[in-house]
Amino acid sequence: MLAEQIERGLVYAPGVWDGLTARLAEQAGFAALCASGFAVSASLGYPDAELYTMSENLTAVRTIREASGLPLVADIDTGYGNAVNAARTASRFADAGVAAVFMEDQRSPKRCPLIPGAPVELTDLEEAAGKVRAVVDAAAGRMLVIARTDARDDEALRRAEAYVAAGADLVMPVTRTFSDLEGWRRCREVAGRPLVATLTASAWTEREFTPQVMEEIGVRLALLPTQVLMAVTGAAQACLRRLAAGEPPAEVGVGATDHHDFVELIGMPEIERLQQKYLPAAATA
């Protein structure tokens, strides 16, 4: 389904990390979701430094899949090891029913390229291409394989070409890969495949990658990995600070989602319907 959506035009996929955010994104009208590694890691209380395991990530993905039937793009970080580890990871995520995975070419453990500090360390090109090939073989046509590169400029172009030769369906430069749109255009030409862009909150791509721009440079899948996470965090911080300061809960709750509305959007009417269908009348009285 995701492949057909991409063929028809630009697809936006917001970053989600659990069943609730998956439901909210689907109800908002999105056609696809992204299991954001940044958000999954944050939901466990960790920074985006590959501190969680493959199994923890897979558990989050399965929870999202259970809550929503939308096509899901999953972040598998570095594949959690070498090419053999990456193949096992890809197989497990395909079994979970994801529509696509993206894997980066950093050395494990990875680090978010937007976090200040030393440049990220990349896997050698030959090894990185071998990992892409292993993931493609393990996917066996069950899901799209997106090759992410954290390289810069000409090295990124070289890697994009190699990853496509290894079987990648799409190429994902990170926000710091190129400093202007011309680099993205060249990447599309060299790769010969559609591109994936991460419109990370506060990044230049979030500001400048309009639908028209993305059409021009060959982006067909636009991920929104952190916008929901930042919005939820800000709202939760404000609520908790007011409660901790001693404000009456009834005042803090003014303007928040109504309890009745919440239990409806989370699916309680469907549970009540199933109870009426399957449980004895005395149990549902």
Q: For residue 119, name the pLDDT band (cuts at 50, 70, 90).
A: confident
Quote the mean pLDDT of the chain. Answer: 95
| 11-16 vs 219-224, strand pairing mode | parallel
pLDDT digits (tens, 9 = 90+) for 38-86: 999 999 999 998 899 999 999 999 999 999 999 999 999 999 999 999 9
pLDDT digits (tens, 9 = 90+) for 203-260: 999 999 999 999 999 999 999 999 999 999 999 999 999 999 999 999 999 989 999 9
In CATH terms, 2-231 corresponds, of 3.40.50.1950, 3.40.50.2000, 3.30.990.10, 3.20.20.60, to 3.20.20.60
pLDDT of residue 117: 63
Separation between Cα atoms, residue 142 and residue 8, nearest integer Å? 20
Separation between Cα atoms, residue 219 and residue 217, nearest integer Å? 6
pLDDT of residue 120: 84
pTM of the model: 0.94
Residue with the two structure tokens 């063929």: 7
Cβ pair 226, 253 in contact under 8 A:
no
Element of type H or E holding 239: helix 227-244
* Token pair recorded at residue 131: 């990992």
C-beta neighbour count of 246 within 10 angstroms: 6
Domain boundaries, the chain: 2-231, 255-285
Amino acid at 89: T
Separation between Cα atoms, residue 63 and residue 143, nearest integer Å? 18
pLDDT of residue 114: 66
What backbone phi and psi angles, to 5 degrees, belong to 271?
A: -65, -40
